[in-house]
Amino acid sequence: MPDAVDPPSAWVRRFLRHIPAAGPVLDIAAGGGRHTRLCLEHGHPVTAVDRDVTGLAALAGRAGLEVIRADLETAGPWPLADRRFAGVIVTNYLHRPLLPAIVAAVATDGCLIYETFAAGNELFGRPKNPDFLLRPGELLDAVRGRLFVVAYENLEITEPRPAVVQRIAARNGNRAVSTLQP
Ligand SMILES: C[S@@+](CC[C@H](N)C(=O)[O-])C[C@H]1O[C@@H](n2cnc3c(N)ncnc32)[C@H](O)[C@@H]1O
């Protein structure tokens, strides 16, 4: 798990403004809470979900924070039921069967911001298991027909360390960018 003081992903920072102002955010597999913290600081209530919520302890008691301890990979029901969020953030986490539920959790006018390791990362380090590596175009496939793609990349990066990542920002609706937060 990343340390709680890890900086937010540059991709998440870049597309945060596509989440409607003050809209609720779902941070899936929130870990140390770097994006939970970022969103709270930007005025969003946040629901942070993880099977291990110890990394969120430093944020306990923050106004607008809901922490849900749940194992997302058991056969049990999706813990968010039919709740919808203005922003859904997933970074450095992949459990393929969840992709449809993650996309469905994006409210009208909301935005999905997803970034994790992709095929090819095995040349650089962990994760190497294909179960944890996105296939070419997999995030595009996951949102096709459901969300509008604002941006998508599948590339080698050097910061914060050499890796291959795939990332997407995709909106539920095609609201003009001029109406977004500055
Ligand atoms: C590499 S960390 C990423 C944390 C955070 N998203 C970030 O980028 O800083 C992966 C996170 O996924 C969580 N996780 C792994 N398996 C999980 C599961 N089955 N259910 C819920 N969370 C899980 C871990 O506890 C960990 O916090």
User: How does pLDDT run across 7-41, given as a tens digit for each residue?
Assistant: 999 999 999 999 999 999 999 999 999 999 999 99
Alpha-helical regions (H) of the chain: 10-15, 34-41, 99-104, 138-143
- Ligand 1 pocket test, candidate residues 93, 112, 133, most atoms within 8 A of CB: 93
State which ligand 1 atom lies nearest to the alpha carbon of 6. Answer: 9
Give this prediction's pTM. 0.95
In the chain, pLDDT over 90 holds for what percent of residues? 89
Separation of CA 116 and ligand 1 centre (Å): 11
The residues near 95 (Cβ < 8 Å, ≥ 6 apart) are 72, 73
Adjacency order of strands within the sheet including 163-171? 65-69, 46-50, 25-28, 85-91, 106-117, 163-171, 148-157
Alpha-helical regions (H) of 115-181: 138-143
The SS3 assignment for 61 reads coil
1 within ligand 1 shell (Cβ under 6 A): yes
Separation of CA 89 and ligand 1 centre (Å): 12
